[in-house]
Structure 1
Amino acid sequence: MSNALGSPAVTTRPRPPLRIVTTMLHLVALGLFGSFVFALVAVLFGVGLGLTLVFGIGLLFLVALVYVLFGVAWFETARVSGLYGLGVPALRSVPQRGAGLGGFVRTLGAQVIDSRMWQGIASFTVAGFLGLVLLVCAQNSVWGIVSAALSAGGRTVTYHPAFGPYFEAEFGALHPLAYLGIGLLSAAAMVGIALLHRLITVWIAGAGAEAAQLQEAALTAELQRAGAVRAADVERTRLERDLHDGVQPRLVSVGMTLGLAQQQIDSDPEAAKALITEAHTSTKAAITELRQLARGIHPSVLEDRGLDAALSALAGRSHIPIALDVQLEGRCSRDAETAVYFVIAESITNAAKHSRASEVRVVVRLRDGATLWARVEDNGAGGARVIPGGGLDGIANRVLAAGGTFRLDSPLGGPTSLEVSVPCAS
């Protein structure tokens, strides 16, 4: 079972009495359909155990049972968190514990003993039982109120749900006020059941919420660390390639040219002078390439004047037209601005080299004062994919290391669009 990075959805907490009514509706639904879930669990467990010795067929049912239990727990965790606005992290399957069949078995075993899964199942079981009790109370509430109205009008009561036959067998036809009292007490019991459900399920959910949040934070930190390591590795590979293919051959050529000039300086001063001039020109070109490499590591204009100025300078050096739309109020953290800058720079480079685009549009916004968002779109041929070690791989890992999100949409035929969101204080 794989794990993925995610965050809990923002929930709106309903207010009383709406929350009580919503809780009752939840319990009614669980009371009606929960029995089907429990029946399915019982069938899978019974058939799984019964057929385990028949060529191991029962193991398939037991594996299906684990997935069903996880689904029930996931649903219950999301239901309780959304109903009461708890903000509990979504239940996630345990990380993969190795490759092959052995890894799958270890992962399945770890899932079986996962405490959060069983907390969700316990909460679902309690809610299902309370839902059945609430349905009985609802029937008696309706019965009591209707019976009160009928008996007050001199009509015979013929509707006998739940506890109705018991009351009438013991006491005979009741007084209208007695019927009404039963109805109102049943309605009050429904409210009490809703409050009891909240008390129990919030306690169960809260028992694992802190651990789940710590686990979520640890997972996020681990993914960010892995993204940073991967991004650094991709950047190092790029620098090695640029130095090996660009500056290094040029400096070797300068050394050879100066060596020839040294040999000819006595016999042919004019030729030696020409060779020195050529070496001087090559040296200046090498210095220019080194400056470009340094700018690729971290442009000084980004540090001094911010993202808007750095992107303007980037657009000015581009070989294809750049429609730049940057609206920022203030500065973000160095890491956030650097991540977004290199996303845009790499996207423009890809558009110029690979997509045959004739125009690139760049939009940058600061959303809610806390998220730096950017979108880069070109009108090229599309078909861009994240390849390990490639430019887009470096983008994805750099954004992940900064705690952001990355989305690429590049169908064949174009257009290609890339969106990133990075926390401003990353």
Structure 2
Amino acid sequence: MTMASVLPPPPPAPSGTDPAASTTAPASAPAAVTAAPTPPRIRVASPGRVAGAAAHLAALGLIGPAVFSALFGMLGAGLGLLAALFVGVIVLVAFVYVLFAIAWFERARLDGLYGFGLPPLRPRRSPRPGFVGVLDTIWLQAKDPGQWRAVASFTIATLLGIITLAVAGLAAWGLALMISPIFGWSNTRLLGFVPLEGVAAPLVGLLVFVASLAAIVGLAVLHGVIARAILVPSREAQLEEQARTSDTRRAGAVRAAEVERTRIERDLHDGVQPRLVSIGMTLGLAQTKIDDDPEAAKALVAEAHASTKSAITELRQLARGIHASVLDDRGLDAALSALASRSHIPVTLDVRLSRRCSRPAEAAVYFSIAEALTNAAKHSRATGCRVHVRLREDGTLWARVEDDGLGGARIVPGGGLDGIVNRVTAAGGTARIDSPQGGPTTVEVNVPCAS
């Protein structure tokens, strides 16, 4: 962890005009836009997977009924205790998140068994702040279609598991019937009514045993087919999702490029261009005085020289805002350290990266942090910022910037926060901005490491 001191130059980031005293308006980026490649067709009928599925079904046949008994008990208790408002609501909220836990377990179980390549199920989270955001989060979780699909798969697997246990019992009976002559059993009857004498008993036992094994194999294969149909999107759905993803990312990239071009034009027109015009006028004035008043001409040349160095500094900052070379040379950690050292306000960095990510991912996170620091310095009256960067286990590059300012920031088209959303969307990630009145303002971005 490093603490950056206050130094004069501002952070070299895309500028924005996001007022800090406006109505609270937390915003979020569009939904995650990572386009996963089409997974290969999984064989659910291979011998190993059939054996594993049969074992899974047998286990679910034992524990599934207990799980659903507990679920229905929670649901009944929650509805019955709604009159005692808080108790019933707490039980129902717990019911929603128990369903989430079952769905998470089911997806993890099926992915481990079949290798579908399913992403881990994550809790839903509302972009809204405060108590309204809590209620919205619970509602989003309660209606999450991915959660309900996984619960449906668990329910079907439990029913198939109960049937599997019954068929396994029938197979055990057939096996016992096959070996009954060895133990000298007599008076054997099929289904308790039809007497089996002589070789009839072992033959019937063999037929029952083989049929039961075939039924167990069929149930295991059926389980895989149903699980794939419920949880793995079809080829058409995958192509449609990839098309939507491409459109969203292209729109974000176009919008980010437009905002960047506008920023460069504004910085050149309002900063460097007037300074260069002033330098030209100063040198012209010095040229007219060089014979009559050499001392005044020297003073004007010195002034032009100082203005030239300032213009060079501005151009360097502008170029750094377009492309941070240190990001390519030394990585995100070093680039953020340099960025924090130029900040007007103290910045506490906590960067933990085990490896490098792709250039687009690092650039999106770098410029998002730079823009968040710029807005904190310009608008929020913050006295400090905290920046956390992590490389998560799911392969996403996550960053969070939090200041201690006044809050109330909102997204303005063409402004800095709008630029963050567009840059992150173009890189295939998501952005979440939370800025209630009174602060703090937090900017959180997630970008696929290989975007």
> Residue deviations 1:193-240, cap 9 Å, x none?
955854764686699622222322232222222211111111111111
Cα distance change on mapping 1:385 and 1:19 into 2, 3 Å: farther
Q: Does 1:16 align with 2:53?
A: yes
Q: Which runs of 5+ in 2 are unaligned?
A: 1-29, 37-48, 66-106, 120-151, 170-192, 196-204
Secondary structure of 1:312's partner? helix
Instruction: Please name the residue that 1:236 is paired with.
Output: 261
Q: What is the aligned partner in structure 1 of residue 411 from structure 2?
A: 386
Query: Cα–Cα, structure 1 residues 199 and 274, in superposed 2: closer, same or farther, change >3 Å?
Result: closer
Structure with the higher helix share, 1 or 2: 1
Q: For 2:277, which of 252, 256, 280 is the aligned residue?
A: 252
Counterpart of 1:226?
Answer: 251
1:9-48 aligned at under 5 Å gives the runs 16-17=53-54, 19-20=56-57
Question: What is the rounded CA distance, in whole Å, between the counterparts of 1:329 and 1:192 in structure 2?
Answer: 45
Match of 1:217 among 242, 248, 257: 242
- Deviation, 1:363, is 1.1
Measure how far apart 1:356 and its partner are.
0.8
Residue of structure 2 in register with 1:414 after alignment: 439
CA distance in 1, matches of 2:246, 2:380: 34
| Residue identity opposite 2:366 in structure 1 | Y
How many equivalent pairs are there?
A: 322
Q: What CA distance in whole angstroms lies between the structure 2 residues aligned with 1:390 and 1:343?
A: 12
Describe the shift of the 1:195–1:174 C-alpha distance in structure 2 as closer, same or farther (beyond 3 A). same
8 Å CA contact 1:89–1:213 kept in 2: the answer is no
Q: TM-score of the superposition, structure 2-length normalised? A: 0.56
Question: Contact 1:254–1:282 (CA<8 Å) still a contact in 2?
Answer: yes
Matched to 1:293, the amino acid is L
SS of residue paired to 1:358: coil
1:353 counterpart = 2:378: yes
Match of 1:338 among 353, 360, 363: 363
Opposite residue 240 of structure 1, the aligned amino acid is E
2:357 and 2:32 mapped to 1: Cα distance?
27
Query: Using a 3 Å threshold, how does the CA distance of structure 1 residues 204 and 416 change in structure 2: closer, same or farther?
Result: closer
Question: What code does the residue aligned with 2:431 have?
Answer: F
- Say what the alpha-carbon RMSD is for the aligned residues: 5.2
Give the 3-state SS of the residue equivalent to 1:398 in structure 2: helix
- 1:283 alignment partner in structure 2: 308
Q: Aligned partners of 1:336, 1:208: CA distance in 2, in Å? A: 27
Deviation per residue, 1:35-77 (Å, 9 max, x gap): xxxxxxxxxxxxxxxxxxxxxxxxxxxxxxxxxxxxxxxxxxx
> Cα offset for 1:371?
2.5
Give the whole-Å Cα distance in 2 for the aligned partners of 1:227 and 1:377.
Answer: 24
Partner of 2:352: 327
**Unpaired segments of 5 or more residues in structure 1?**
29-77, 91-123, 142-172, 176-180
| Cα shift at 1:310 | 1.4
Alignment TM-score, normalising by the size of structure 1: 0.58
The answer (yes or no) to whether the contact 1:346–1:395 under 8 Å persists in 2 is: yes
Instruction: For residue 24 of structure 1, report the CA deviation from its aligned partner.
Output: 7.8
User: Aligned to 2:365, what secondary structure does the other structure show?
Assistant: helix
Deviation at 1:188, TM superposition (A): 9.7
Per-residue deviation, 1:295? 0.8
Equivalent pair of 1:23/1:83 in contact (CA under 8 Å): no
Runs of 4+ in 1 over 3 A off after TM superposition: 2-8, 13-25, 81-90, 187-208
1:216 and 1:85, CA in 2 relative to 1: closer, same or farther beyond 3 A?
A: farther
- CA change 1:274–1:308 in 2 (3 A) is same
Determine if the alignment matches structure 1 residue 317 to structure 2 residue 354. Answer: no
- One-letter amino acid of the counterpart of residue 16, structure 1: A
Q: Percent identity?
A: 60
Structure 2 counterpart SS, 1:324: strand
- Higher RCO, Cα 8 Å, sep 6+: 2
